[in-house]
Amino acid sequence: MVADPVPLQVAAELFPNGISRYAVGGLLVGLGAAVIYVGTGISAGASTFLESTLSYVSGQSRFQQYVASRDWRLVFTLGIVLGAAVYAVVYQGGAWTTDVAWWRLLIGGVFVGVGTRVGKGCTSGHGVCGVGSASKTSILGVIAFLLTAIVTAQIVAALGVTP
């Protein structure tokens, strides 16, 4: 059997599942944000939903700035859930559940909730809309969360926690 050329071997190692699912998915994520932007001028991010929804149940002054946008942010999130459900029905053929330990999800979630809101954005706000805006703030934010995420995930894996 003839070995693949070296670049192909490297690509197969770095991208064992190919790139099409990632690239097509990413283009669709961008398209979803673009549809909203073209109609409304709003660059939507996913993590503001956490605070805007808390404004329904909490009188803390921090959340009041999101009262005006909380209903459409709820609709946006509902759309995300339903859009993913369409994928599950069409391509997945049923529910899929994670094997990641519950305590990793819970504790990690707390850090995500604090960090995205203090840091002014998440993977969609900074990563997709901010980077698309060539915003220096967002690019620095992405570098910050990407680096700490890589270090954290590598340490957790090195400690033998799987998954």
Q: Which of residues 51-110 bind other proteins (CB under 8 A)?
A: 51, 53-54, 58, 60-63, 68-69, 71-72, 75-88, 91-92, 94-100, 102-110
Nearer to other proteins, 1 or 34 (CB): 34
- Both tokens assigned to 115: 């960090």
Site for other proteins in 11-50 (CB under 8 A): 14-19, 21-44, 46-47, 49-50
| Residue 136 interacting with other proteins (CB under 8 A) | yes
Least distance to other proteins from the beta carbon of 3, Å?
Answer: 22
**Beta-sheet strands, E only, within the chain:** none
CB 50 within 8 A of CB 113: yes
Nearer to other proteins, 2 or 162 (CB): 162
- Both tokens assigned to 8: 């192909």
CB 71 within 8 A of CB 56: no
The span from the CA of 60 to the CA of 55, in Å, is 8
Least distance to other proteins from the beta carbon of 9, Å?
Answer: 15
8-state DSSP, 18: -
- Both tokens assigned to 60: 């803390």
Nearer to other proteins, 4 or 67 (CB): 67
